[in-house]
Structures are given as structure tokens and as C-alpha cells.
Amino acid sequence: MTSIETILIAVSVLLIISIVASKASGRFGIPSLLLFLIVGMLAGSEGIGGIYFNNPRLAQDMGVVALIFILFSGGLETEWKSVRPLIRVGAGLSTIGVLITALLLGVFVSYALKFSLLEGLLLGAIVSSTDAAAVFAVMGSRKVSLKGALKPLLELESGSNDPMAVFLTISFISLITRTDRSILSMFPVFILQMGLGAAMGYGLGKAAVALINKIKLEYDGLYPVLTVSAIIFIYGLTTKLSGSGFLAVYIAGLIMGNSTFVQKRYLIHFHGGLAWLMQIAMFLTMGLLVFPSRLVAVAGAGLLTAAFLIFVARPLSVFLVMAPTRFNLREKTLISWVGLRGSVPIILATFPLLAGIQQAEGIFNIVFFIVLASALLQGTSIPFVAKLLKVETPLMDKKKYPLELDQTDALNTRLIDFTVPFNSWMIGKPIAEIRVPPDSLITLIVRNEDFIVPSGQTVIEMGDVLLTLVNNNNVLEVMNLFSRLSEQA
């Protein structure tokens, strides 16, 4: 029997190797998820690590838990003001778009691979959702940004389309295993799951914000414990009531991320790190679960299915859903191409294994092959395609300062940064002569990558970044004061 110490060492080594390997994502443009999978496969029973792992139930349970925290973190970091104008098209892509993709691929697979129609639809449902983490990890590592509403639309779609894929997968498994079910019986279940999931996520997200603000914990370290507990509770209760727990945790994260609560900045950082841990653990587990030798037998079927998904099913679903919108041809093409398959399809591919579906093993191996093909083809080419379609824009690095302000409802102050232009009236003047309002304070000056704690005699220079504490009532007055030009002084 393997000792707990040996297991802990193996887990820690795999995590460290995965993190170090992710550096290649930025240098060579390889999606990090692909590297995590490869590390898991190399550590598996047919790799150099020789770790035997063949437990789909454990892999599925781990994947579900990981997906809960990944979806919550995605909602937490989504800015409502940027996605609000895109709700209709985003919801269309996340529901109708996923359904069209599943149906098109399902029919194709049933004819091309000699699956039954329901088995083909099951495979289509499993790979019908896109992976937000994979998309933005690639764009972030390659310093790619997109024009206009493309980035928030991709963020909204890929963050919210997993519940639909889960619903379709479970529904098609039910249709295969239970002859008393019909396709028409799926519709009321869909309305119940999505409606209840959205309502529970909204209500419990609001309740979580109120609880965090009111409880006033003595130790800051307890706030992450509280939010983790809240996430698990939201998923568990919603699922127990026959709602979509995945949608509920995403909506709860969206509500909390766009609300003000105690320790918000700290909790966003914590859940971002937790989401990465879940991503790595999940891909490592799935990499361990697969047997690479079995992928050879499905290489032809996998390539054929991946090609149809990437070049036919995904583009058709996007263009049909986005036909009434104002997005132009190049933007729709980019949305069509940026449809990476990632963690969710591999997790969902364990469902048929546990349900005893006849083609379950073949489906799992084909899905794994599709994820690999998608990561290699789409993941590595996103920067090139964005440039080719002329929809990229320079990525502005977000400034990082050694000072942060945790905004709460009780705090009537905010931290702003202002860059002194070449023709500012402040150039050459000491801070004492700037005369900011009494309830505002220039707390830090960033000059040529150096941080200066100013005094009243510190002289302002061109290009200085002034980090200033400002009373909310005086933000406009301070910005007008800083923005005056030399001839206006």
C-alpha cells in the first residue's frame, strides 16, 4: 500500500512540474491546458511515471468540484458593465449555439463513425462547450487583445455555456439508458434547471455579499473559508433542488464580483489562485486517466470529428446565432475560431463510462483526442488568426502598485492614478503648491519604474504617475485640477 507521504510527494512534484511547464505557454504559444494534460499522461501508467490510475468515478467527482470553483472565479472576475450589452447574444451562443453544435456534430458522427444517433448526439453534447480559461490563457500569454466587444463576448459565452453542455450530456445519457424518456421530456427539465439555477445563483449571491459584509470576522484568513463554504453550499443546494448548480455558482460569482464587500480584492486573488489549482489538478487527473496507446486506434475518427467540429459545426452555430447582430464577418469568424475545447468535455466524457454506455470508452478517447487537436490547432493559432482578421488591438499592461485599497460601502474614498502629461501646469511644482482638496492625498509617485513616497517639497515631473487617495465627492474636482494644462494655470 502506498504511503500518504509518497502520495503527497508525487502530487507536489506533478503540480510544480505543471507550473514550470506553463512557462512554455507564453514562450512557444502552447496552451497551458495541453501541457498539464501531457504532464499527466507522462506520469500515468503508460508514461515514465508509471502511476496507474483507472478510476472514472473519482476523476469525475474531482472534475465536478474543480469546475465549481473555476466557474465561480470566472463569474467573480467578469465586469457586468462590459458584458451587459451582450447578454442576448452571449446567452444565445451559450444555449442555442451549444445545442446547434451538439446536433450538427451528433448527426455527422452517427453517419461517419457508425454510432447510433443518440450516441452521436451524446458525443456532440460532450464537446459542445468552449473553455474560457484556455482561450484567455493563450491570449494573455501571447499579449493578444481584441477590439470592441469581442473579448467580453467570448468571456461571457465561454464562462456560461458549460451548464448547457452538462444538461445535454445528462439528457442524452438518460435517453439512451431509459427507453421511457423522450426528447420532448427534456424541455421542461431544461426550463426548470436553468431557471432555478439562475434564480438561486442570484439570490444566494446577494445573500453571500450581505453575510460577508455583516459577519465582521476577527481573522482575515477566515473570509476565504467562508466564500469556499458558500460556493459549495450554493452548488449543493441548487443541485439538490433539481436546478443547475453550475449555472448557480457562475451567477453567484457574477453577482459578488460586481458588488462591494469586505476583503473583495483579497478574495478575488484567492479564488483566482484556487481556480488555477483546480485547473491543474483536473487536467493532471484526466491525463492520468487516459491510456495513450488507446488513442492511436481512434486517431482517424478523432481527427475527422475534430475537423468537422472546428470547421463546420462551430462556425455554423456562431453564424446562425449571430446573424441578427451587428457584428461583422471578420468578428463572427474570430468568434467561430476561438472555440477551444478544454476541461469540461473531458469531465463530461467520464459520464458515459459510469453510465455503462456501450460506446463509452470510444467516446472518451475521441473526446480526449478532440481536446488535444483543438488545443494544438486553435490554441496556437489564435494570435495569428486575430491579426489576419484585423481584430486585434495592443494589450495594455495593467499597472501594479505596492498600495491597494479594499473598497467597501463604509469607505467614502477611492484610489486613483493620474499620469502627468508633457504640458501639465504641475510640472516643476512641489506637491505643497498643488493644493489638492483637504480630504484627498497624493500617497505615491511612480517615476521611471521607481516608487517615491512624496513630501510637500517633492517636485512633480513629466510622466509621473500620481497615486492619489480621493474622497468620492471630490473625484471630478481632483481630476480637473490634475488635467489643467500649463497655459490654463
> Could you tell me if residue 402 is inside a domain?
no
Task: Quick: pLDDT tens for 184-196.
Answer: 888 899 999 999 9
**pLDDT over 90 at 408, yes or no:** no
Question: What is the rounded CA–CA span in Å between residue 330 and residue 142?
Answer: 21
Same domain, 353 and 480: no
Same domain, 444 and 376: no
Question: What is the rounded CA–CA span in Å between residue 64 and residue 231?
Answer: 13
> Could you tell me if residue 32 is inside a domain?
yes
Q: Are strands 144-146 and 465-471 parallel, antiparallel or unpaired?
A: unpaired
Model confidence band, residue 387 (pLDDT cutoffs 50, 70, 90): confident
Query: What pLDDT is recorded for position 203?
Result: 97
H or E stretch including 146? strand 144-146
> Could you give the dihedral angle defined by the CA atoms of residues 98, 161, 168 and 197, in that order, rounded to the nearest 10 degrees?
-140
> Could you tell me if residue 464 is inside a domain?
yes
Same domain, 350 and 280: yes
Question: What is the rounded CA–CA span in Å between residue 79 and residue 83?
Answer: 7
**pLDDT over 90 at 480, yes or no:** no
Same domain, 164 and 297: yes
Query: What pLDDT is recorded for position 183?
Result: 80
CA-closest candidate to residue 184, choices 175, 192, 195, 196: 175
> Could you tell me if residue 404 is inside a domain?
no
| 8 Å CB contact between 414 and 407 | yes
Answer with the residue of higher pLDDT: 409 or 386.
Answer: 386
Same domain, 192 and 323: yes
Query: What pLDDT is recorded for position 212?
Result: 93
> Could you give the dihedral angle defined by the CA atoms of residues 204, 209, 215 and 218, in that order, rounded to the nearest 10 degrees?
120
Residue after which a domain boundary falls, among 394, 422, 438? 394
Query: What pLDDT is recorded for position 399?
Result: 61
**pLDDT over 80 at 412, yes or no:** no
Model confidence band, residue 136 (pLDDT cutoffs 50, 70, 90): low
Model confidence band, residue 134 (pLDDT cutoffs 50, 70, 90): low
Residue after which a domain boundary falls, among 394, 427, 450? 394
> Could you tell me if residue 84 is inside a domain?
yes
Task: Quick: pLDDT tens for 288-330.
Answer: 888 888 888 888 999 999 999 999 999 999 999 999 999 999 9
Same domain, 373 and 451: no
The mean predicted confidence, pLDDT, of the chain is 87
Task: Quick: pLDDT tens for 101-130.
Answer: 999 999 999 999 989 999 999 999 999 998
Question: How much is the average pLDDT of 260-286?
Answer: 88
Model confidence band, residue 137 (pLDDT cutoffs 50, 70, 90): low
Same domain, 381 and 460: no
Model confidence band, residue 47 (pLDDT cutoffs 50, 70, 90): confident
> Could you tell me if residue 399 is inside a domain?
no
Domain of residue 440: give its range: 413-488
CATH number at residue 300: 1.20.1530.20
Task: Quick: pLDDT tens for 337-354.
Answer: 988 888 789 889 999 999
Same domain, 198 and 72: yes
Q: How many domains does the chain have?
A: 2
Same domain, 193 and 293: yes
Task: Quick: pLDDT tens for 198-247.
Answer: 999 999 999 999 999 898 888 889 999 999 999 999 999 999 999 999 99
Query: What pLDDT is recorded for position 323?
Result: 94
Task: Quick: pLDDT tens for 317-327.
Answer: 999 999 999 99
Give the DSSP per-residue string, 55-99: -HHHHHHHHHHHHHHHHHHHHHT--HHHHGGGHHHHHHIIIIIHH
Q: Which amino acid is at 352?
A: P
**pLDDT over 90 at 172, yes or no:** yes
What Cα–Cα distance (Å) separates residue 292 from each residue in 283, 372, 414, 429, 450? 15, 12, 54, 68, 51
Residue after which a domain boundary falls, among 394, 421, 439? 394
| 8 Å CB contact between 119 and 110 | yes
Q: Give the lowest-confidence range in 135-149, 178-192, 270-284.
A: 135-149
Where b means 16+ CB within 10 Å and e means fewer, 220-238 reads eeebbebbbebbbebbeeb
Q: Give the lowest-confidence range in 5-9, 364-368, 384-388, 475-479.
A: 475-479
Question: How much is the average pLDDT of 433-462?
Answer: 88
Task: Quick: pLDDT tens for 150-160.
Answer: 888 988 898 88
Task: Quick: pLDDT tens for 77-107.
Answer: 888 888 889 999 999 999 999 999 999 999 9
Name the 3-class secondary structure at 443.
strand
Question: What is the rounded CA–CA span in Å between residue 138 and residue 35?
Answer: 12
> Could you tell me if residue 125 is inside a domain?
yes
Same domain, 390 and 417: no
Distant-in-sequence, close-in-space partners of 327: CB < 8 Å, separation ≥ 6: 89, 149, 335
Query: What pLDDT is recorded for position 342?
Result: 80
- Burial (CB < 10 A; 0-12, 13-18, 19+), residue 167, is buried
> Could you tell me if residue 407 is inside a domain?
no
CATH number at residue 472: 3.30.70.1450
Q: Which amino acid is at 49?
A: G
Question: What is the rounded CA–CA span in Å between residue 253 and residue 4?
Answer: 35
Answer with the residue of higher pLDDT: 102 or 141.
Answer: 102
Model confidence band, residue 248 (pLDDT cutoffs 50, 70, 90): very high
Same domain, 239 and 332: yes
Same domain, 371 and 281: yes
